[in-house]
Amino acid sequence: MTKRVAILISGGGSNMVALARSMHGNHPARPCLVMSNVAGAGGLAKARDLGIQTAVVDHRPFGKDRAGFEAELHKALAAAAPDIICLAGFMRILTADFVSKWNGRMLNIHPSLLPKYKGLHTHARAIEAGDGEAGCTVHEVTASLDDGPILGQARAPILPGDTPDTLAARILPLEHSLYPAVLRRFADGDRTPLFLPGSD
């Protein structure tokens, strides 16, 4: 049966677009919802242009009430009945309680070669550390931040003179290849890690 995929975003949504565009033909999944915690997220208009239902649950009115925010998020998600949730530049930390509700069904893309550089400012940290390469990782979401089982990685060199922006510009297209490739396998029940050509 075709799997239903909800995609959570906070910003421009370029990974969301790559995922959504990949789900056609004999792909085992289809997008059912794009949801954002930011009403002005650029990705929402892109999702609507792609004919995908959108929803917004703004985190700000909830202040420190994370459980309240997540209850609303869960309600909106549950209404769309997704089989798989893809976090795609969704910049809110999710609690163990929320994650447990979607255990084994939630993926995330992170712009580093995990387990290196969990959290923010990944490219700046890789450059500062003098690393020779950087990359991106798709992983299953667990209660620990950026820590679940790795489902795929792609890597690229860090070049002399790179800034966080030039490195991000080199990594983002890799994200757009890696995430759809991993999602397709995951929707088919294949959780074997995928290392894109050029990576180890």
Residues with catalytic annotation? 110
User: Smallest distance from the beta carbon of 1 to ligand GAR, in angstroms?
Assistant: 28
User: Whole-number minimum distance, CB 18 to ligand GAR, in Å?
Assistant: 8
What is the C-alpha to C-alpha distance for residues 64 and 95, in angstroms, rounded to an integer?
Answer: 13
Measured from the CB atom, the residue of 44 and 109 that comes closer to ligand GAR is 109
The pattern of x and - marking residues 164 through 193 that bind ligand GAR according to CB under 6 A reads: --------x--x------------------
Number of residues interacting with ligand GAR: please give it, by CB under 6 A.
15
Looking up tokens 């992170």 gives 110
* Residue among 49 and 189 whose Cβ is closer to ligand GAR: 49
Q: How far is the CB of 119 from ligand GAR (least distance, A)?
A: 7
User: Are 130 and 172 contacting, i.e. CB atoms less than 8 angstroms apart?
Assistant: no
Cα 184 from Cα 84, distance rounded (Å): 11
Q: How far apart are CA 137 and CA 75, in angstroms?
A: 28
Instruction: Take residue 155 and report the two structure tokens written for it.
Output: 């890597």
**Span interacting with ligand GAR, options 28-36, 62-70, 106-114, 156-164, rule CB under 6 A:** 106-114
Rounded distance between C-alpha atoms, residue 107 and residue 86, angstroms: 5
Residues with Cβ within 8 Å of 44's Cβ and at least 6 positions away in sequence, in order, are 9, 13, 34, 36, 54, 56
**Residue 109 in contact with ligand GAR, rule: CB under 6 A:** yes
* Binding of ligand GAR by 88 (CB under 6 A): yes
CB 20 within 8 A of CB 50: yes
Select from 10-18, 32-40, 60-68, 127-135 the region that touches ligand GAR (CB under 6 A): 10-18
Structure tokens at 31: 């997008």
Q: 33-72: which residues touch ligand GAR (CB under 6 A)?
A: 43
Residue from 3, 5, 8, 13 touching ligand GAR (CB under 6 A): that is 13
What is the sign of the dihedral through the CA atoms of 41, 90, 102 and 68?
negative
Q: Are 157 and 127 in contact (CB under 8 A)?
A: no
> Given the complex with ligand GAR, which of 32 and 114 has the nearer CB atom?
114
Region binding ligand GAR by CB under 6 A among candidate stretches 7-15, 63-71, 75-83, 123-131: 7-15
